[in-house]
Amino acid sequence: MDIVSDLVSHHFWYLAPNLTVLAQNITDPNILGQMQKAFTHFIQSGQAWALLIGLVIGYMIRNLTSYG
């Protein structure tokens, strides 16, 4: 059990500086506004149509290639 704890502690201390976030500088705290802006861009850029067309074509291909 001592070997396992040594390995875990070694990997934890090796990764700790990369994963530790002590402070963040948030420039725009309006989360809902950011989500609305991203969704509006998703719709206006035509990506919603591409998603729907891809889902339909993928569903058709899946049905054509499945057996049984």
Domain ranges of the chain: 2-65
Instruction: Please state, in angstroms and rounded to a whole number, the distance separating the CA atoms of residues 20 and 57.
Output: 43
> Would you state the pLDDT for residue 27?
84
Report pLDDT digits (tens) over 17-66.
556 667 778 888 899 999 999 999 999 999 999 999 999 999 999 999 98
Tell me how far apart the alpha carbons of residues 11 and 21 are, in angstroms, rounded to a whole number. 18
| pTM of the entire predicted model | 0.54
Amino acid of residue 16: A
